[in-house]
Chains A and B, each alone.
Chain A
Amino acid sequence: MGHHIRLIWKFLRASVQQEIAYPVNFVISLVYGLITLAGGVIGIEVLFGQVDDVRGWTFASTLAILGVFMSISALRGLFISPSLDALAGMDGDVWTGRLDYVMLRPVDIQFLASVRQWRPFALIDLVLGLGVLVAAVTQLDATLSAGRIAAFLALLALGMLVMYSLLLAFAGMIFWSPGFLFGWVFDGLFQMARYPVSLYPAGVRLVLTWIVPVGVMTTIPAQALTGDLAPEMAFGSLALAVALFVGATVLFRTGVRRYASASS
């Protein structure tokens, strides 16, 4: 365990060193983060400037969803996406055959593939996302108990696990069908998680809850925060997260075993 943490630290340091070589990127990331923030907040403000609530969701609770969405996206951009992209993205290790060198290292391949590459500037987005979350919480009518915050954090962690498992599964699929980037479909559907799933028509809601469970990532943690969450939904997301994690791990490892390098 200590060994793994030391490795993560080393990967993180290497990524920081790579990235501070391009200081302009910091400004670009900041400007882009602020524009995304403005876009999200204005979208909600425009909506609730016109109506008071939509299917029980108010300005504050919808803003909480946005905060969760932005924080989860930031954590994803911090290490999950960069690492998995380096493996399965365009020009990634599987396409080019560089995975040979990754597999030769005496570390678990799934661990290595998941934390190898970091994008430290994503921390800007994390700060902005948490800021939105705090702003939303101060606007909520409900008072926050310690229990509610704990439930929120636990469900947020489960949401992250669901996200990681799905992305790992998509990355793992590259061993069967290179060229088809499942992750892109997910990226599109994940965008829908910036609003509560109950704002969508019944068919779409079904897809977003059960097939591509982006609702579990944002709507359910936010509901825990506002106190609108039914206990069975919490257990449902625990079961889903565990099942997806096991499934994705099995798929990824089966895929790795199929890997036969890039040369013919």
Chain B
Amino acid sequence: MNVRAGWMLVRRTWSSWMQSRSFFFLLAFGWLIGPLIYLFVWSTAAGQGAVDGWTRGQFVAYYLVLINVNQITYSQTYWTVGMMIQMGSFNRLLLYPMAPVFDAIASEIAGKVVYMTFVIPVTVVLALILRPTLSTTVGNIALFVVALGLAWALRFFLGYAQALLSFWFTRTEALLVIQEALVFLLAGQIAPTALLPAPLDQLAVLLPFRYMLGFPVELLMGRLSGAEILTGFALQGGWLLVALGLYRLTWRRGVRHYTAVGG
């Protein structure tokens, strides 16, 4: 692993993105609105009492953490990979002595720095105004960090594998749109997954989407029992293996299929 080259890759994207940071702050603003709506709706619904064991302050805490987790796990790069393959600019990446996925990962790391310089201050201000109730333990924080890393990897590789389908098809971003819509629905954004009605809550536990977003937040808030934590990590790890498998498959088959533009 070449650390210096990796750092250079990160720095390159980071400097180019910081140049037009207001553009990226706007994007980050757009991503923040979804969770923010449900923060308001649920905290108004809870009012002075509680909804199914959730108080107003807990909803606020849940969604403020979720905003940050969403920003960390949401990958902008997988949206552009498909376009690069179709337009032929992917050629440049193929000439480097490394797999193109490292370029995407470097942009990911650089991009997160840019986005988080916007999202973290906004969250702090919102926390000062809206007063969340969050009590957590060191153990929960540790579980949160692990689950967050896995959540990022799962969302990234599943998205990247879909983007690589551009080697064969032209409209792969539609799959990504559907993935993001299902994340919205089942990952804990319209409501914490425990509050979803009967068939949906079980579906949310089984499908990969909760493990991209809601699962780490639930861990941090200490809302899961020991058994739920274990099955959660098992399912998250299992889905990550599936995602990595899909990535390897689409990459190996796809790059042989690739003929560049005008081929």
* Whole-angstrom CA separation of A54 from B46 in the bound complex: 9
A contacts with B: majority SS: helix
Output the least CB separation between B101 and chain A (Å): 26
Contact A31–B178 (Cβ < 8 Å): yes
Contact pattern, B 117-150, Cβ under 8 Å of A = 1, otherwise 0: 0000000000000000000000000000000000
**B37–A51 touching, CB < 8 Å:** no
Q: Does B261 contact A (CB under 8 A)?
A: no
* Chain B 13-26 per-residue mask, 1 if CB under 8 angstroms from chain A, else 0: 00000001011001
Asked if A36 and B181 make an inter-chain contact with CB atoms under 8 angstroms apart, the answer reads yes
CB of B195 within 8 A of CB of A46, answer: yes
Question: Do the beta carbons of B177 and A185 come within 8 Å of each other?
Answer: no
Contact with A along B40-52 (1 / 0, CB 8 A): 1110110000011
Taking CB atoms and an 8 Å cut-off, the chain A residues in 185-200 that contact chain B are 185, 187-189, 191-192, 194-195, 199-200
**Interface assignment of A19: CB less than 8 Å from any CB of chain B:** no
Quick one: given A181-B26, A188-B29, are A50 and B41 in contact (CB under 8 Å)?
Answer: no
Residue B99 interfacial (CB < 8 Å)? no
A37-45, A156-164, A226-234: which lies at the interface: A37-45
Q: State in angstroms the CA–CA spacing of A23 and B32 once bound together.
A: 33
B30 at the interface (CB under 8 A from A): yes
Shortest CB-to-CB span from B126 to chain A, Å, is 11
Using A187-B30, A188-B29, A201-B40 as known contacts, say yes or no to A42 and B190 having CB atoms under 8 A apart: yes
Residue pair B197, A39 in contact (C-beta under 8 Å) = no
Pair B44/A46 contact, Cβ less than 8 Å: no
Interface-centre pick from A43, A181, A195 (highest chain B CB count, 10 A): A43
| A192 adjacent to B37 (CB under 8 Å) | yes
* B166 vs chain A, min Cβ distance (A): 14
Chain A interface residues (CB < 8 Å from chain B):
22, 24-25, 28, 31-32, 35-36, 38-39, 42-43, 45-47, 49-51, 54-55, 179-181, 184-185, 187-189, 191-192, 194-195, 199-201, 204
Give me the interface of B with A, judged by CB distance under 8 Å.
20, 22-23, 26-27, 29-30, 32-34, 37-38, 40-42, 44-45, 51-52, 171, 174, 177-178, 181-182, 184-185, 190-191, 195-197, 200
**With contacts A42-B185, A42-B200, A50-B51 known, what are 14 further pairs, Cβ within 8 A?**
A32-B177, A39-B184, A43-B191, A54-B41, A179-B20, A185-B26, A188-B33, A191-B37, A192-B33, A195-B37, A199-B40, A200-B40, A200-B44, A201-B44
A-B contact pairs, 14 of them (CB 8 A): A24-B171, A32-B181, A36-B181, A42-B200, A43-B191, A54-B44, A54-B45, A55-B44, A179-B20, A181-B23, A185-B29, A188-B29, A195-B41, A200-B44
Nearest 9 CB-CB pairs, A to B? A188-B33, A43-B190, A28-B174, A35-B181, A46-B191, A50-B51, A188-B30, A39-B185, A184-B26
